[in-house]
Amino acid sequence: MTDVNPPAVEMLHITKRFSGGVVAVEDVSIGVAQGEIHAVIGENGAGKSTLMGVLSGLIPADSGEIRLSGAPVSNPGPASAVRHGIGMVYQHFMLIPVFTVAENIVLGREPAAGLRFDRRAAEEQVRALSDRYGLKVDPAARVETLSVGQEQRVEILKVLHCGADILILDEPTAVLTPQETKDLFSVLLQLKSQGKTILFISHKLNEVLAIADTITVLRHGKVVETMPAKGAMKESLARMMVGRDLESGAPDPRHPVGAVASASAEVLLELERIEVLRDNGLPALRGVSLQVRSGEILGLAGVEGNGQTELLEVAAGLREKVGGEIRLHDGVSGRDVSRTSISERHRLGLSHIPEDRHRRGLVLDFSVVENAILGRHRDEAFCGPWGIRSSADIEAATLAERFEVHANDLADRVRGLSGGNQQKLVVGRELARRPRVLLAAQPTRGVDLAAVAIIHRALREARSTGAAILLVSSDLSELLALSDRIAVMYEGSVVATLDPAKTTEEELGLYMAGGGRSSAIPS
């Protein structure tokens, strides 16, 4: 490449601080050449999404400059970004559920016949576009009826319809099956061959190495290095992302520590032929049956949207089911808790680490103390005739110490804590119940590695004390490291139950994509 052509995208000395002085990105400069796939990688919270938000105009930078083909962008903002041919596919899709596919795609540049919005022309345009790039969708369908994979296609079509030459994709594979990921990559390569410039955010090194031409590593809001993908090593990239060698103290996933449940151990949680409907009335779970035994971690693998979330919510009592039974065993006989309230399930020994700590796990405007007893606030230990006792303060302090929750003051709102500290607080609180059954959904999502280690240690400890743990994670290596058995879900059914010692990420991926129906080990 010669220096005659300026890079398609240049971001120079970009700095963005959020309120409270949190620095998201600091003095970041990157350049992206015309027609390349440029991956931006980093841990959660490294500033990838913020940086791309600045480029797409949605987040105003505090300082710095953006140049496109050498020309500075004078008036950044979403509209100007669109004008300059920048299109972004967001991690959380920016689609309007009640609009049709065509309406979503042409929004902002609608074909018109006179004053009238020309719906037929819009659908025609979408059809042509989807044919050209092999992204099949029904233009007249309402977006709320689509699957996640289809929604992503709509998002990409939307960006293409805007005439974008520069595409930004924020963690596009997080919600896709391996097969869908493969399809996506072929679309991206096709786009590249047509001269489009692609920025690709990820933290999955395999994917990045497979598709990218250039890689920029971000850590703590700063650029660590930009390098060609060819010749880059997975291990060195990982080291750059986290800033040190991957935790050497981590136990070998093939030899989990702690008591491994024998097949004879007591079944504590039993789900039988659970059937659940999605919010849109389509089936989410089609007769799922599972058993979790004391001293066992049952991992639940699957691409997001295949029913894992619903399964845990049903078990936790947060979602209605249309069929099947949930039994919590207390040593003597199984009790069907289908109609039992959440607080009663808590009393029966059930704990739940919700998948989204902001939505389900914490009250962000409550203090650390108040969050530390959330769900246990009616326990006699914390609650007297005159209300909540000061023992709550002591409990919060204990939790904070045991789980290394770093807070300036336990009376501060948890909104101000980092994601890792928030998550440690949730995990600590749920484990402090000494649950017989623990439902753990994405327990380490979006937290720093130190916090991951603490949370993993805590889960193993709970297992060793005889808890039955049902673990959902989209991180396959986490599942392989922690689980005693792994059940794979696909389209609302368990399609395989595997022994982690005898399987690989590739095999899991195959099942997750619906690639076979068998049971490797009996459950």
Binding site for other proteins (CB under 8 A): 18-20, 22, 24, 49-50, 53, 56, 58-59, 78-83, 88, 90, 94-99, 103, 107-110, 112, 115-117, 158, 162, 316, 318, 341-346, 352, 354, 359-366, 370, 374-375, 377-378, 383, 386-388, 415
Tell me how far apart the alpha carbons of residues 504 and 253 are, in angstroms, rounded to a whole number.
Answer: 11
Tell me how far apart the alpha carbons of residues 414 and 147 are, in angstroms, rounded to a whole number.
Answer: 34
Please give the structure tokens belonging to residue 440: 């753990």
- CB of 108 vs other proteins, minimal distance in Å: 4
Phi (first) and psi of residue 242, to 5 degrees: -100, -15
Amino acid at 464: S
Alpha helices per DSSP H over 355-448 = 368-372, 391-402, 419-432
- CB of 122 vs other proteins, minimal distance in Å: 9
Nearer to other proteins, 117 or 273 (CB): 117
Tell me how far apart the alpha carbons of residues 42 and 178 are, in angstroms, rounded to a whole number.
Answer: 21
Tell me how far apart the alpha carbons of residues 500 and 485 are, in angstroms, rounded to a whole number.
Answer: 6
Nearer to other proteins, 95 or 224 (CB): 95
- Beta-carbon contacts of 351 under 8 Å, excluding residues fewer than 6 positions away, are 430, 431, 433, 435, 437, 438, 439
- CB of 146 vs other proteins, minimal distance in Å: 15
- CB of 357 vs other proteins, minimal distance in Å: 9
Nearer to other proteins, 254 or 415 (CB): 415
- CB of 508 vs other proteins, minimal distance in Å: 28
Nearer to other proteins, 5 or 63 (CB): 63
Closest to 421 (Cα-Cα) out of 441, 439, 396:
396
- CB of 92 vs other proteins, minimal distance in Å: 9
Phi (first) and psi of residue 162, to 5 degrees: -70, -10
Helix (H, G, I), strand (E, B) or coil at 325: strand
- CB of 518 vs other proteins, minimal distance in Å: 35
Nearer to other proteins, 108 or 195 (CB): 108
> Would you say 413 and 365 are in contact if contact means Cβ atoms under 8 Å apart?
yes
- CB of 221 vs other proteins, minimal distance in Å: 12
Nearer to other proteins, 72 or 97 (CB): 97
Nearer to other proteins, 234 or 378 (CB): 378
- CB of 386 vs other proteins, minimal distance in Å: 6
Nearer to other proteins, 94 or 246 (CB): 94
- Which pairing describes strands 9-18 and 63-68: parallel, antiparallel, or unpaired? antiparallel
Nearer to other proteins, 97 or 195 (CB): 97
> Would you say 33 and 7 are in contact if contact means Cβ atoms under 8 Å apart?
yes
Tell me how far apart the alpha carbons of residues 424 and 436 are, in angstroms, rounded to a whole number.
Answer: 20
Closest to 151 (Cα-Cα) out of 60, 90, 209:
90
Point out which residues pair with 104 in neighbouring strands: none
Amino acid at 173: T
